[in-house]
Amino acid sequence: MRPERWKIVERLLEQIEGTTGRLVMAVAPEPIDVVLYETPVLAWNQPPQNPLRGFIQEAVSLLDQPTAADVAALLHLPETIVELVLGNLQQMGGAISDVVGRWSVPDSAPKFGTDRNDSPIWRRTRRLLCYWPKQQVLLPVLPRMRLRDLVELGVHHLQGEVADWYSEIVSWSGIQSSKRGLPESVRMLPLKCLPNSLASESPEARILADESISKEEILVSRFRLDVISLTWSSFSSGIWEVVSRLWSRPTPYKDADGEPFAPGEPILGLSLPEQLLGGGTTLDNLGSLFNPNPEAWRKLVNYRDDLSRIRRALDGEYPALLVEDTPQSSENRRWQGLRTRIADEARLLCYILPASSEASR
């Protein structure tokens, strides 16, 4: 990792310090060539009224034959809204009313849950998908880059190799989709001109004909994306959980600072940094950071770095797993990136404790 790239990582760490778990590693490759597809998809959604039905149904059972006004007062909802939902519940057998307007829930009534485990629905919407052709994966970028940003980056028609790549994404199977970065909550829509050979390979590709889309509905932009992946861990239910997240921005113009980095959705595990390191790299050795032997992690580090003042700290309120007890210089630095044997683009993150923290330890 070049010094210029590490400085960007340092600035990013200072911005997010304390907002994530215990930071572990940063991967900052050179900018990569990507394709953005702004396209219609089918997106998984929770039925918006089911939780509300569940809350009102539970309130009716709790209050024991309440009126609509009683339920509205308990849930701090407008009475008209409660009356509408109660009427809907009555139509579906989820609640009944007596002649004076008192409500109850029959024993045989269908229960509307509030734990968001109700059956999902699929709705057609537009999404921004970032495809990395070199690794043939989708990257989790922040979906704030919409039509305006695409126009600034240069919008193209879906044709040639970008159309072929889109058809390949549609053909991914369920397991393959997950491994390649397509969320389970998103289903790609096939093109109306999708070849039969591709459509027959995947059940997801053979969606109803009226869900097929034309090339004119898809906006495409090709550009270089500046990316930084951060990995952190948190201790939950007796185990350490590892999560990775991608910060990205379009590469700035020459001599320009460019837009700030924006985060995509966090992803459980290490698949994201592994992809940025070339796809063939595995990061299983990072488990040494949690080894009962407190010195096992040192095998991950390139010994050009001075490790005499650095220790692993699984306990405490530090923002990283590795901490440096004594600052090595008078510079006002809070982070050090330890060179690793994994790849030049990867650094283990070490938090430099302020002198006051060391004095009070």
pLDDT at residue 21 in the model: 85
Q: How confident is the model at residue 211 (pLDDT cuts 50, 70, 90)?
A: confident
- The C-alpha atoms of residue 204 and residue 206 are separated, in whole angstroms, by 5
Query: Tokens 């760490």, residue?
Result: 13
133: its two tokens: 């052709």
pLDDT at residue 258 in the model: 66
Beta bridge partners of 242: 233
Buried/exposed code over 219-234 (b: 16+ C-beta within 10 A; e: otherwise): bbbeeebbbbbbbbbe
Q: How confident is the model at residue 148 (pLDDT cuts 50, 70, 90)?
A: low
Backbone CA torsion sign across 107, 112, 115, 120: positive
Q: List the Cα angle 226/227/229 in 5-degree steps.
A: 165
pLDDT at residue 199 in the model: 46
Residues 6+ apart with CB under 8 A from 23: 13, 230, 231, 232, 319, 320, 321, 349, 351
How confident is the model over 155-164, as a mean pLDDT? Answer: 88
Neighbours of 114 (CB within 10 A): 16
Q: How confident is the model at residue 333 (pLDDT cuts 50, 70, 90)?
A: confident
Higher pLDDT, 358 or 346: 346
123 vs 88, 107, 170, 305, CA distance in Å?
22, 33, 17, 52
